[in-house]
Structure 1
Amino acid sequence: MHSQWRDCQAWSNFGLPLSTTSNEAAKMYDAVVAQYVGVYSDKSVGGIRKALGTMTDADPNFVLGSALANILSVCGTSQNANTNDDIRKSIDKMMMMMNNNNITARERLHVEAVKCFAEGDMETACSKWETILVDHPTDIVAIKLAHDGYFFTGRSEQMRDSTARVLPHWNKHMPFYGNLLGNHAFGLVETNLFKEAEDTAREGLDVNPYDAWSTHSLNHVMEYTGRHKEGIQFLNSTLGTWDKCDIFASHNYWHWAVFHIDRGEYEEALGIYDQDIAPRALKIKGMLEILDATSFLYRLELEGQNVGDRWQDIIDLCRPHVEDHVIMLNDIHVLMGCLGARHTDLTKKLMDTLREYVSQHSKQHKSGVFQDVGLPLCEAFVAADDGDYAKAVDLLHPVRYKVVNIGGSHAQRDVFNLFLIDAALKSPENRHRKLARCLLTERKAMRKNSPLTDRLIARSLALHVD
């Protein structure tokens, strides 16, 4: 892991000069970048939050440092300048600092991108980061933020191509090269280039065995190609490396548990949840951990498994986010938590405020994802929870190919495929049972080695279809 923090001269020598004269601020900026890109907490600087504080104390007028602090706040809280007054004030202060300081064109683009992102315009933000990368292809912050923006909006091809364009300018001796390969591998696997993704991820681990994104990309390769047993063995054998990336470890544990669910090994999956996924979610309280926990429990219930009172521990994590409506992927997972815990009041608040948001705001991310996809998706989950499976199918099936626009990975969004199949199997209408068989035929063609798919096919064949 990168730990030789760069001072002002070192940043300039790297071709990315900073508009600060404080070496301490420059070094702490590097420390924050390292932890963000490497998804870990460095105890030597007190973690990301402490490093940000030290950076700001060293130079309160460090504009690029302010931009980094703001974007991490937005990404970490699932709120933005439209929903949180503190974030709005911080963005306004950052813009004032930009106008009152002589900063580089690259830094100005960063600030403008952060403002766009914080106001919900991720498309324009990504465009500005891409503009930076034309002239500064080694700006890992622009690379990573564009990657995250594409992830949040479901743009897999852009995620792949963004890293592909800058790779020729990098080499294994540069800080974060292994992390860059891990991110590129993820773009490859999300566009179904499995061999290329696996080769790139393994190269990333050769450069940096601790890169959790390379490990993560291999998890996706193994899931999509039906290598569940190999995935379990891989994660078990490399536990001592990726587990050190504590900011992302929960998600790799989630993949480990999902491998077990596909194989029908429910006790093993629950063991991982109880020992690692849930405790980390309750401690960190981050959105990624909430997504992992709610998705895991919902998948198990779709498999007919009793998760006991585990939802009750998670609902308090979901409660602060029922009115966020910033990223649709987050909203639907928070809804899963509300439904799973049988909190009708929170479910109603989420749905009421979501409908209000859709009626009062312009189309999110210029794609209408909340109105065209998010609302019917959430309504389908509520309908199924009320026992109206036919309504759930009729709501979700017409938009199933648009669900990609809510963001996330194919693996994360697969819970919606499983939900649709389950609802179609439970629907009293014959046309939905026929649809379930069609969906399963399609799924089998893509996932030839999935025991879970085979179990669902057996369920469908046991039903009478006219």
Structure 2
Amino acid sequence: MYSFGLLETKAYDQAEKVAMEGLALAPEDAWSVHSVAHVYEMRAEVEKGLKFMESREKDWQKSDMLASHNYWHWALYFIEKEQYEAALDIFDSQIFRRCKATGSMLDTVDACSLLSRLEMEGVCVKDRWRELLQVTQPHTDDHVTLFNDFHFLMASLGAKESATSRRLLEGLQELAKEPGVNQQHQMANTVGIPVCQAMVEYDHGNYSRAVELLYPLRYNIVKIGGSDAQRDIFNQLLIHAAVKSENEHHKKLGRCLLVERDAVRPGSPLTTRLMQRAMALH
């Protein structure tokens, strides 16, 4: 856990060192594996990440809490490399299977996030959204965390279940009227509702409106919780919306965001692809 704290404050070298020391003492420690997976992702060291996860799989795959999440990290490396079938195979054989079996929120949001990332890459995920909706739909009215709500909305939008998407957003709007002492509900007006609206607008092809809603919140998304890696899906959503927008200012913004992303994660194949797409569109 110390290693995880280090990596979330961007002390990646120290985080890797501490996690490796932990693995030397306890090779089956899924938390240490998890930290190293984060480090390699944030530094865009894709090949190292793939080799590391494969070499350690037998040690962490039986972890009750983190096995599915570590498989999610593994799948992110495959997305970076455009090996989409490998990522889908992990979704089918590990993440969604475990999600259905456990009902774990971590497993569920990982499943939603992975399908969304694949779709942004242009991958057809077929009927997987409809299947995943069976897991997320019963939680539409929970509103425990905004982080969860955003992921449930990914599922209802992906499954084209507009009534469920509308119910989730309307429920959040009602809670925002009298949030009380609930910190998550207090953020509904300033973060939760506009992010949900941005996701809906993007899904409807209204990319300019999605940028207008999402861009002012890019430094506030951190308040919803989750890791840098988990919240990166919203960075990607903003970039995709900006690049696809018909607004020239948004297109320039998209290119600026990509330059920034490349500086933070130099050598990322995904960033390189996005840059190429942005240039091809302009």
Query: Shorter-chain TM-score: what band?
Result: over 0.9
1:373 aligned partner: 191
1:403 aligned partner: 221
1:437 aligned partner: 255
2:33 aligned partner: 215
Q: Report the residue type matching 2:13 in the other structure.
A: K
Alignment partners' CA distance in 2, 1:277 and 1:382: 25
User: How far does residue 398 in structure 1 lie from its aligned partner after superposition?
Assistant: 0.4
1:146 aligned partner: none
Is 1:229 the equivalent of 2:37? no
User: How far does residue 369 in structure 1 lie from its aligned partner after superposition?
Assistant: 2.5
Indicate the SS of the match to 2:218.
Answer: helix
Structure 2: 5+ residue stretches without partners: none
Alignment partners' CA distance in 2, 1:364 and 1:228: 39
Q: What are the within-5 Å matches in structure 2 for residues 225-374 of structure 1? A: 225-362=43-180, 364-365=182-183, 368-374=186-192
Structure 1 contact 424–435 (Cα < 8 Å) conserved: yes
User: Over residues 180-201 of structure 1, what are the superposed CA-to-partner deviations in whole Å (9 max), with x where a residue is unaligned?
Assistant: xxx1100000100011100111
Structure 1 contact 363–369 (Cα < 8 Å) conserved: no
Q: Report the residue type matching 1:284 in the other structure.
A: T
Q: Report the residue type matching 1:264 in the other structure.
A: E
Alignment partners' CA distance in 2, 1:308 and 1:420: 24
User: Over residues 90-111 of structure 1, what are the superposed CA-to-partner deviations in whole Å (9 max), with x where a residue is unaligned?
Assistant: xxxxxxxxxxxxxxxxxxxxxx
**Residues 367, 360 of structure 1: CA spacing in aligned structure 2 closer, same or farther, 3 A cutoff?**
closer
Of 181, 189, 193, 2:11 maps to 193
User: How far does residue 270 in structure 1 lie from its aligned partner after superposition?
Assistant: 1.0
User: How far does residue 296 in structure 1 lie from its aligned partner after superposition?
Assistant: 0.2
Indicate the SS of the match to 1:462.
Answer: helix
Structure 2 contact 179–185 (Cα < 8 Å) conserved: no
User: How far does residue 370 in structure 1 lie from its aligned partner after superposition?
Assistant: 2.2
Alignment partners' CA distance in 1, 2:217 and 2:32: 32
Is 1:203 the equivalent of 2:10? no
Alignment partners' CA distance in 1, 2:122 and 2:129: 15
Alignment partners' CA distance in 1, 2:244 and 2:180: 36
Indicate the SS of the match to 1:361.
Answer: coil
Alignment partners' CA distance in 2, 1:347 and 1:367: 18
| Structure ID, larger Rg | 1
Structure 1 contact 190–410 (Cα < 8 Å) conserved: yes
Q: Report the residue type matching 1:408 in the other structure.
A: G
Structure 2 contact 179–186 (Cα < 8 Å) conserved: no
User: How far does residue 321 in structure 1 lie from its aligned partner after superposition?
Assistant: 1.1
Structure 2 contact 176–185 (Cα < 8 Å) conserved: no
User: Over residues 310-357 of structure 1, what are the superposed CA-to-partner deviations in whole Å (9 max), with x where a residue is unaligned?
Assistant: 111100111111111121111100000110111111101101101001
Q: Report the residue type matching 2:67 in the other structure.
A: A
Alignment partners' CA distance in 2, 1:192 and 1:363: 32
User: How far does residue 256 in structure 1 lie from its aligned partner after superposition?
Assistant: 0.3
Q: Report the residue type matching 1:220 in the other structure.
A: H
Structure 2 contact 173–188 (Cα < 8 Å) conserved: no
Is 1:393 the equivalent of 2:211? yes
Q: Report the residue type matching 1:424 in the other structure.
A: A
Indicate the SS of the match to 1:238.
Answer: helix
Structure 1 contact 263–450 (Cα < 8 Å) conserved: no
Q: Report the residue type matching 2:31 in the other structure.
A: W
- TM-score under structure 2 normalisation? 0.97
Q: Report the residue type matching 2:92 in the other structure.
A: D
Structure 1 contact 383–392 (Cα < 8 Å) conserved: yes
Q: Could you list the runs of 4 or more consecutive aligned residues of structure 1 that deviate by over 4 angstroms after TM superposition?
A: none
Structure 1 contact 363–371 (Cα < 8 Å) conserved: no
Structure 1 contact 189–221 (Cα < 8 Å) conserved: yes
Alignment partners' CA distance in 1, 2:103 and 2:183: 26
User: How far does residue 400 in structure 1 lie from its aligned partner after superposition?
Assistant: 0.6
User: Over residues 403-444 of structure 1, what are the superposed CA-to-partner deviations in whole Å (9 max), with x where a residue is unaligned?
Assistant: 000000000000000000001111111111011001001001
1:427 aligned partner: 245
- TM-score under structure 1 normalisation? 0.59
Q: Report the residue type matching 1:453 in the other structure.
A: T
Q: What are the within-5 Å matches in structure 2 for residues 444-463 of structure 1? A: 444-463=262-281
User: How far does residue 211 in structure 1 lie from its aligned partner after superposition?
Assistant: 1.2
User: How far does residue 232 in structure 1 lie from its aligned partner after superposition?
Assistant: 1.0
Q: Report the residue type matching 2:257 in the other structure.
A: L
Aligned length: 282
